[in-house]
Amino acid sequence: MKITIVGYKKEERLSQGVANDEDTELIQFLLNKGLDVVATIWNDDEVDWSSFDVAVIKSPWDYHNHLPEFLDWLDNLEKLGIKVLNPIEMIRWNSDKHYLKDVAENGLPVIASDYLEKGSSFHQHFFDKLGTDKLVVKPCVSAGAQNTLTISKDNFNECSGEIDQLLKEQAYIVQPFVEEIKNGEWSFLFFNGKYSHCALKTPKQGDFRVQHYHGGSISYPTPEPLHIEQAGAYLKKLPQAILYARVDGVVINNLFQLMELELIEPYLFFNGDVKLLENYYQALQIMIS
């Protein structure tokens, strides 16, 4: 069985300051396990996709900037009969933050959200509607805090025009600024629905963005079993089994609340730990058997 681990162009990866190339360590680990695994770039026209039995969508970190092309590429894999992990249906659904509405409608805790559709205008009523004095506005198709803005009542007039311009290009999601983000955003990693490990991403002083290239830091505390269980509940509502999921959120009054359900290209925080790579391998074996 021939397997490809799908990523994106290396020069773009380097430009984002990615220090630890976990794709390389994962591929080497799987090769050492005897799997026939090669790395590919999702939009490389030279790749013969029909030569693969399984495509693992690992790190197409630029997909959000090329979404129509990315979805067309997935359609092509589907037509070729290639097994795709995570499943294509789940990737399509997860590619737009409107999916959070579906999660909330399933009765699971999600940070309160509303939407600004493409071509609409930003208004002050969101402060009252979401019960907050500070809003976070970000694209429905994005990654890495791209074009993410915080808006207060004080700077609304200054920022509303910028948001209206952005809305000419795509839809945006509006959420209350969650003060608990200052204590860190939890990332719970699950492979084939089974909990593996977690990370806590904390923003630098005076910022809200937890990504390391925005100055955030990462630690690896031992989580409360209750919070692991709460994070796992989001996966139980999915209609298909998935190879990997990163459940990102904050704990408010001892309740885990979802910020993002990452099913397309999350960093998995292996950090060279053989036990964690083994967890992934065991899940992959189940999914391809």
pLDDT averaged over 10-residue windows placed end to end, the chain, 289 residues? 92 46 94 97 96 97 94 98 98 98 97 96 94 95 82 91 93 94 93 97 67 72 97 97 97 96 96 96 97
Give the per-residue pLDDT at 18.
Answer: 43
In the chain, the domains with their CATH numbers are 2-94 (3.40.50.20), 99-109+180-268 (3.30.470.20), 114-177 (3.30.1490)
- Asked whether 191 and 282 are in contact (CB, 8 A), the reply is yes
> Phi/psi of residue 178, each to 5°?
-95, 110
Per-residue tokens: 45: 């026209």
254 prior amide bond cis, ω within 30 = no
Give the per-residue pLDDT at 209.
Answer: 55
C-alpha to C-alpha distances, 285 to 21, 86, 214, 240, nearest whole angstrom? 23, 14, 36, 17
Overall pTM > 0.85: yes
